[in-house]
Each structure stands twice: as structure tokens, then as C-alpha cells.
Amino acid sequence: MTRLSSNHLLGLKNLTPEDISLIFETADNFKAILNRPIKKVPSLRDITIANVFFENSTRTKISFELAEKRLSADIVNFSSSNSSVSKGETLIDTVNNILSMKVDMVVMRHPAPGAAQFLAQHVDAQIINAGDGTHEHPTQALLDAYSIRESRGSLKGKKVVIVGDILHSRVALSNIYCLQKLGAEVAVCGPPTLIPKYIEALGVSVTHNLEEAIEWCDVANMLRIQMERQDTKYFPSLREYTMQYGLTMEHLNSLKKEITVMHPGPINRGVEISSEVADSDQSIILNQVENGVAIRMAVLYLLAAQKEG
């Protein structure tokens, strides 16, 4: 297979295992290029991409920008904080104005779940979802699965636990879809108030006990508590959350095996993960960030090829 099954990347739910394999194969080639002295290729020389961010981002925004620059695309950056959105312009009008300046693709982060899908239905451009509220964050899940494959070999049969604020996490949902499509077993772990009630219907097992979770898993993906998305108190205090769900060296040293530790970032050192664990040999947090550029290059390259027919 040499083509993706979709003209947009909106989420992992609708990607096929073959799509994911194609993205990984393409990312392998780009990763090799990124390790060469000259990291730039002319693949997207005639393509213009708008990075449209209605929410803050460090990793995703920089990673997409670098991926686009390494592929020689022309880029424009839009952030809602210094735009005319504050004057009442709608999402569709904003994006259509950008597109009228001959833009081919839009990478969008937006706080509303479904915003990327909505945009794909209403504007004439290829849309890449860079995170839509609590819904999906597809390139994060792809780079996470790619990093697990790099660290532990094939995903098939691997046991991955996602720990923390599952309720507010777009990373968790995209990871669940992606990992299952690649044959991994997925569990979630966290306080009952931060685990959505429907989650078991996705074929995911649930535990509220971190010790039990890390005994079971090969890989622990530690998530941040998303204070900015919480309108109510889901646990008594951060200190108590850390006591029950913060991953420490004592946890890792208590195991008779080495697990791989991941985090999508931004990390809150001393809350969901101790500094020692984040900086340990078992952590692949910075490998995830590095792999993000190759994965995003692969996604942009393959989507551009769709348009060429």
C-alpha cells in the first residue's frame, strides 16, 4: 500500500492498520534523513501549509513547523490570541480567509472536540488535527506508538497502561485506538473520577491501583492532570493524587522487569512523574519528541501525495 485511506488526518478512529504501517515506514525514511548533516528535502516545495492554533502548544506546534521546513513547504502561522477571532470572526471564515491566500493544508489545534472534522466538512483544504479538545490528538498517538515500536519492537501483544487524567485526555483516546489497531493490549489507571464510564466498551481494562498497573504492563504512559479542563474537583488535592498515582523510582525498582516510561508532555515534575523517573534510562520522553518530527513529516508527505492523485 502506498496511499492513505483518507485525504485528512482527523483521528486514529478511522485510520486502518495499513495506514499506520505506511506512516511508520515513511517516518523511518524521514528519520534517517533527519540524522544526516543536511536534513532538508524538496518533497513539499510547492505546498503551503497554515498552522492554525486556537490553543497553546509547545511540542506539537514546533514539531509541525520543523517537519514542514524540513520538507521545504512554505508555512504561515496563525494563533488565535493575536488574531481577529477576538473581534467575532467564525472558525470557517477565519480559515477560508487564510485559504484564499492559496494555502493547501491546515494543521489545526482547537479546544472544541470535533473541530477538525467540522472544518474538513466545510472548507476546501486538507485538514490535520493537532488536537481537538478532549477528543483526539492523532499525531501524538502515532509518535507514541512509533516510539514504543522503536523501544520494545513490534506492538503486537505489548501491554500498555495509560495512567492519569483519562477523562480530559485526547492523547488517551487516540492512543487507545492506535495501540489496539497495532495489536497491543491497553489498560487505563487513575482515580475513578478521572476514568470515563464508557471506557471498557473500547476493549480497555481498568485499574485504580498504580502498583497493579505497572506489574502488568511493558509500557506506562503517564498523563498530566489537565487542570485547565477541570471545572470541578476530581480528587482531594494534587498531593494526594501524587501519593496514589505519581510514578517514582521506588515503583520502578520494585519490579522484576524494566518497563518503558512515556509522557506526551508537558510534564509536571513531582506530580504524575518524579524528576528521577522522567530523567531515567527507562524514560523515552525526549525520544517521543524527536520522533514527532519524522512522524509529522510522514503524515504531511503522504497527505500531499493524496492530492496529487
Among 194, 264, 298, 303, binds ligand CP (CB under 6 A): 264
Contact 190, 163 (CB under 8 A): yes
| Count of residues that bind ligand CP according to CB under 6 A | 10
Radius of gyration of the chain measured on its C-alpha atoms: 19
What is the C-alpha to C-alpha distance for residues 280 and 73, in angstroms, rounded to an integer?
A: 36
Nearest residue (CB) to ligand CP, 9 versus 43: 9
- Tell me the closest approach of the beta carbon of residue 169 to ligand CP, in angstroms: 11
Least Cβ distance, residue 54 to ligand CP (angstroms): 12
Q: What's the CA gap between 291 and 56, in Å, rounded?
A: 21
Cα–Cα distance measured from residue 64 to residue 108, given in angstroms and rounded to the nearest whole number? 10
From start to end of the chain, where are the E strands? Answer: 48-53, 74-79, 105-110, 126-132, 159-163, 185-189, 205-207, 219-222, 260-262
| Contact track, ligand CP, 56-75, x by CB under 6 A | -xxxx---------------
Q: Is 229 in the site for ligand CP (CB under 6 A)?
A: no
- C-beta closer to ligand CP: residue 60 or 126: 60
Candidates 8-16, 64-72, 213-221, 258-266: pick the segment binding ligand CP (CB under 6 A). 258-266
Distance CA(46)–CA(30), nearest Å, equals 19
Query: How far out from the chain centre does Cα 271 lie?
Result: 21
Residue 187's beta-bridge partner residues?
161, 205
Binding to ligand CP by residue 265, rule CB under 6 A?
yes
Question: Among all chains, which residue has been given the C-alpha cell 522503536?
Answer: 150
CB nearer to ligand CP: pick between 43 and 247: 247
Sequence letter at residue 114: G
Which one of the spans 40-48, 65-73, 111-119, 260-268 is the region binding ligand CP (CB under 6 A)?
260-268
- Our CB check for ligand CP shows the closer of 189 and 267 to be 267
Given candidates 43, 94, 134, 140, which one binds ligand CP under the rule CB under 6 A? 140
37, 307 in Cβ contact below 8 A? no
Per-residue mark of binding to ligand CP, 100-139 (x: CB under 6 A): -------------------------------x-----x--
Residues that bind ligand CP (CB under 6 A): 57-60, 131, 137, 140, 264-266
